[in-house]
Structure 1
Amino acid sequence: MMKSLYTAWVFGVTLTLVGFGSSVTKAIAQTTYPFQATYNAEITTKETDIPLVLDTTVRGETSDAPYGLTNLIIRNYSQVDPNTGVATYNSDPATFGLQNVPFGTLTLSGQGNDKLFGTNRGTASLLSGSGTISITGGEGRFRGATGSLDLFQTITSNPDPTGLTAPIISLGTISGSFFVPKTVPEPKTVPMLVGIGVIGAGLVLKRHRRASIV
């Protein structure tokens, strides 16, 4: 009888602890990386199948960027409003009705293995432009990165506003913060409770033995 009670008690404790343990998930923390850098950039374009919609490439570099991310490459698409001269740009070609062309990309990189990937969207005029960069991933220590950065462009040379015959020269400032997930080990609560359960089971069994002797 005592053995049956002991077995039933231990089994119940085990089920309780298993249920508790299965509900424990790994805590996820984030490391925040502030970012600000200004890139000397060249903007070139080529025509697409849709009039006034351009395939745009931005290449920039700087000698001073956080985390060694000194190189900038953007590939996106833009459409110029002939009435205002304002260009709207976006990494998603579907925004402008383009089909069967690659999705645009943004890459920040340097000499090492660390890289940031993202997409961007915004507007630009003859003198300046502004937009938003969405960080979608990375490599090296920035694997799994997310976040949002601001992009502000100042046009310093604009021989061809379309960028078709001569590069548009600009200064592109990127600022903001991005985040990289960091896994925190599971708390040791479950193993501790298992130990307490085993000790408790032993005490219950010991009391039952004393009662049977008396």
Structure 2
Amino acid sequence: MFGSRLAWLVPVTLTLLGLGTSIQTAKAENTNNYQFSVDYSTLVELDFNYRPDLEIVRATITGESTTDAPYGLDFFTSNTYGKLQPVEDPSIRRYNFNSDPSVFGLSEEPTLFDVYYGSGDNKLFGRANDRAEINLTEGTIRGGGTITIYDGTGIFKNATGTITFTQQDRLDPSGGPSRGLATLNFNLQTPQEVPEPAATTTLIGTGVVAAGLQIRKRKTEKLKV
């Protein structure tokens, strides 16, 4: 009795297991990945009058790609807070920058962010954590760090990932914005649209119904005997 029932249940069980495996595989492959690099001409503005009592500045950096950027990300604007770090050389100023004001004890200030954009629908939003060194003797600003991406629009809707960058600028002798060049390396992920599970659900439901009918049929045949 059990042998005949098991012989019938094995292929059904294997079929359902196969469907379950397919579902798990689909779930594991539902991410779009984007990796690319872009060079941007930059303009750096530092507001040293923001909080001189705490040696904290406000920084705004804008960029325009030197060539057409992938996915239309031809421009960016980055806003951060910067805290002066101790250094022995009086000709050097080192700053740590962050979009989060609480990092520097500014609990009542707004959290800032970066935006990467162009003329189309694609945008990226991120928050920066970086460093820079101002060399007054050489007249340069050198820096680098990481931008953590937390969202986007267009093909970058719900994007996550990071942008790492290096940057070098020339100090403006008149004290105006400094011009330079930054190289940004994008490593992004977005959730991939997956088909509605209606077809798979229907197949599994059909299999379960069929299993129930077969069991019922066998019980009926036994009673007749």
Question: Which segment is superposed worse, 93-102 or 189-198?
Answer: 189-198
- Partner residue in 1 for 2:115: 107
CA distance in 2, matches of 1:205, 1:42: 77
- Partner residue in 2 for 1:43: 44
Q: Which secondary structure state, in structure 1, belongs to the residue aligned with residue 93 of structure 2?
A: coil
C-alpha spacing 1:153/1:199, structure 2 compared with 1 (3 Å): same
Greater relative CO (CA pairs within 8 A, separation 6+)? 1
- Partner residue in 1 for 2:34: 33
Match of 2:69 among 61, 65, 68: 65
Q: Which secondary structure state, in structure 2, belongs to the residue aligned with residue 113 of structure 1?
A: coil
Q: Which secondary structure state, in structure 2, belongs to the residue aligned with residue 86 of structure 1?
A: strand
Residue 27 of structure 2 aligns with an amino acid whose one-letter code is A
Q: Which secondary structure state, in structure 1, belongs to the residue aligned with residue 121 of structure 2?
A: coil
Q: Report the Cα offset of residue 138 of structure 1.
A: 0.4
Q: Which secondary structure state, in structure 2, belongs to the residue aligned with residue 27 of structure 1?
A: helix
- Partner residue in 2 for 1:194: 205
CA distance in 2, matches of 1:91, 1:102: 9
CA distance in 1, matches of 2:74, 2:132: 23
Cα displacement string for residues 144-188 of structure 1 (whole angstroms, at most 9, x for unaligned residues): 100011110012x2025xx9x311112111013111111433485
Match of 1:184 among 188, 191, 194: 194
- Partner residue in 1 for 2:12: none
Residue 48 of structure 1 aligns with an amino acid whose one-letter code is Y
Q: Which secondary structure state, in structure 1, belongs to the residue aligned with residue 51 of structure 2?
A: coil
- Partner residue in 1 for 2:178: 168
C-alpha spacing 1:94/1:213, structure 2 compared with 1 (3 Å): closer
Cα displacement string for residues 61-85 of structure 1 (whole angstroms, at most 9, x for unaligned residues): 1232111100110010112236341
CA distance in 2, matches of 1:120, 1:108: 12
Runs of 5+ unmatched residues, structure 1:
1-16
**Equivalent pair of 1:50/1:98 in contact (CA under 8 Å):** no
Cα displacement string for residues 24-69 of structure 1 (whole angstroms, at most 9, x for unaligned residues): 8882611011121111111112222343211111111123211110
- Partner residue in 2 for 1:12: none
CA distance in 2, matches of 1:110, 1:95: 30
- Partner residue in 1 for 2:57: 54
CA distance in 2, matches of 1:98, 1:205: 71
**Equivalent pair of 1:86/1:124 in contact (CA under 8 Å):** yes
CA distance in 1, matches of 2:117, 2:147: 15
C-alpha spacing 1:196/1:55, structure 2 compared with 1 (3 Å): same
With the length of structure 2 as denominator, give the TM-score of the two structures: 0.74
**Equivalent pair of 1:73/1:107 in contact (CA under 8 Å):** yes
Match of 1:150 among 164, 170, 185: 164
1:75 and 2:79 aligned: yes
Runs of 5+ unmatched residues, structure 2:
1-15, 135-139
**Equivalent pair of 1:48/1:54 in contact (CA under 8 Å):** yes
**Equivalent pair of 1:120/1:131 in contact (CA under 8 Å):** yes
With the length of structure 1 as denominator, give the TM-score of the two structures: 0.77
CA distance in 1, matches of 2:131, 2:36: 22
Overall identity of the aligned pairs, in %: 29
